[in-house]
Amino acid sequence: MIKQEFRSNQQLIAVLCSVSVYSKPDSADFITERGHSIQVGVLCKSTGEIVKAHQHLPEQKVVRGCQEVLIVTKGELQVTIYDTDHNFVGTTVIYPHQIFIQYVGGHKFEVLDDVQFIEIKQGPYTPAAKVFFNPLAHEQTK
């Protein structure tokens, strides 16, 4: 699996992965690890294949923090990534058919080309759980 990882002091902050790298037929490749509270995978199935009817049973889970998944469908979106102390970690551009997953920390977005993207995160959404900040380290220092 090809993915770009963003880390701060060994801690995984975010990953960027291209969906087009998943071309193996009849495969299920998960970008996230089993222990993460959000699970993202890319599944490839052949024409006529059937996935048996199933249901995911309710489970009591404890989720700390809010992970976000972005999937760009059109345009270009630049993401600046920060760790949990608001220090600059890196910058990347998300193009169509790429998946960006942020596990911890913060981010800011800049639209480089008119963009449409899908945002997925755990709910329910509470506006009070979002904080705006001034980055502690300038983006150009790394």
15 confidence band (pLDDT: 50, 70, 90) = very high
pLDDT at 21: 59
Q: Tell me which DSSP letter residue 136 carries.
A: S
Question: What's the confidence (pLDDT) of residue 142?
Answer: 44
Across the chain, what does the average pLDDT equal?
Answer: 88
> What is residue 137's DSSP assignment?
S
pLDDT score of 128? 84
Query: What pLDDT, on a 0 to 100 scale, did the predictor assign at position 96?
Result: 94
Task: Tell me if residue 14 falls in helix, strand or coil.
Answer: strand
Residues 19-71: tens digit of each pLDDT: 765 557 777 888 888 888 888 888 888 889 999 999 999 988 888 788 999 99
The mean pLDDT of 84-97, rounded to a whole number, is 95
